[in-house]
Amino acid sequence: MSDTRASEAAALIWRHWRNRSRFAALPESCRPRNHAEGYAAQNLLSGLSGWPALGWKIAATSAAGQKHIGVDAPLAGRLLEGKLHESGAELPAAHLHMAVVEAEFVFRLADDLPARGRDYSAEDVTAAAAALHLGIEVPDSRFEDFTSVGAPQLIADNACTEFFVLGEAVPERWREIDLAGHHVALAINGETAAEGRGANVLGDPRRALAWLANDRIAHGQPLGAGEIVTTGTCIVPAAIVAGDHVVADFGALGRVSVQFTA
């Protein structure tokens, strides 16, 4: 994808993101035709927004997540500083198009994961992690019908990113826990809205982290020390409205919460 076409696509997406508006699709003149072209546009969003990129999100790591946005494989997006919030944050909801929340395991890396001639395994990336956090993602899209535009355009749209709520690091004993089998529950206004397990994330959140490490190398953007990676939803995305209070409960690992305002 030429720099001009990528810049045009990124500028359109950023304008709608900034204005909290929607559009049908990128015009043919700058519509990405494949994943690589989608990432070329995505890479420009941090500069346009003025928000540093702090790490990555993985979209569509579960069957429910893939169905929700109309794709058949995971996608990567950037976590931008201006959209990252602490647990307990109050966030606006009236503009949300998707209007759902997701409960996710989040890794913070201690080491770089450069190209090395062979794929990283789940064990490799777990060893490279400094900490495990818990999170709530609030995804969104600038497209009117995000289920039909296809993966390249969704990638350009930062893989359906809006807010991310990040909890504190959990106790170090997480390394001894079966994250795949770990139960996760999400409550809205005190009522259970969804339940799931870590296995809903590509079979194991650590496997999702390995997928991202290898995928980013393939696209020339290897993961680096200090970056945070949220690995995708453990639950079927749960619908929210303004005024809702959301708590993601990861049992012995802790909780993370967010309040939505009008």
Higher-confidence position of 1 and 253: 253
What is the rounded radius of gyration, in angstroms, for the C-alpha atoms of the chain?
A: 17
CB atoms within 10 A of CB 28: 7
Dihedral of CA atoms 27, 30, 31, 34 in degrees, nearest 10, equals 170
Domain holding 193: CATH number?
Answer: 3.90.850.10
Reduce the DSSP state of residue 107 to 3 states and report it. strand
Provide the mean pLDDT of the chain: 96
Q: Looking at the domain assignment, is residue 179 inside a domain?
A: yes
> Taking residues 10-18, what's their average pLDDT?
98
Q: Is the pLDDT of residue 49 over 80?
A: yes
CB atoms within 10 A of CB 242: 14
CB distance 161 to 42 below 8 Å: no
Q: Is the pLDDT of residue 64 over 90?
A: no
What's the pLDDT tens digit per position in 177-204? 999 999 999 999 999 999 999 999 999 9
Least confident range of 64-68, 108-112, 182-186, 240-244: 64-68
% of the chain surpassing 90 pLDDT: 95
Q: Looking at the domain assignment, is residue 8 inside a domain?
A: no
| Domain that residue 168 falls in | 52-261
Phi, psi of 240 (to 5 degrees): -130, 160
Euclidean distance between CA atoms 260 and 231, whole angstroms:
23
% of the chain surpassing 70 pLDDT: 100
> Taking residues 47-64, what's their average pLDDT?
93
Where is 216: in which H helix or E strand? helix 205-218
Nearest to 258 by CA among 194, 185, 167, 184: 167
Confidence bin at 1 (pLDDT 50/70/90): low
What's the pLDDT tens digit per position in 137-184? 999 999 999 999 999 999 999 999 999 999 999 999 999 999 999 999
> Taking residues 54-60, what's their average pLDDT?
96
> Taking residues 53-69, what's their average pLDDT?
89
Q: Is the pLDDT of residue 25 over 90?
A: yes
CB distance 39 to 154 below 8 Å: no
Q: Looking at the domain assignment, is residue 135 inside a domain?
A: yes
Q: Is the pLDDT of residue 2 over 80?
A: no
Q: Looking at the domain assignment, is residue 230 inside a domain?
A: yes
Task: State the total domains in the chain.
Answer: 1
Q: Looking at the domain assignment, is residue 34 inside a domain?
A: no
CB atoms within 10 A of CB 161: 23
Q: Looking at the domain assignment, is residue 257 inside a domain?
A: yes
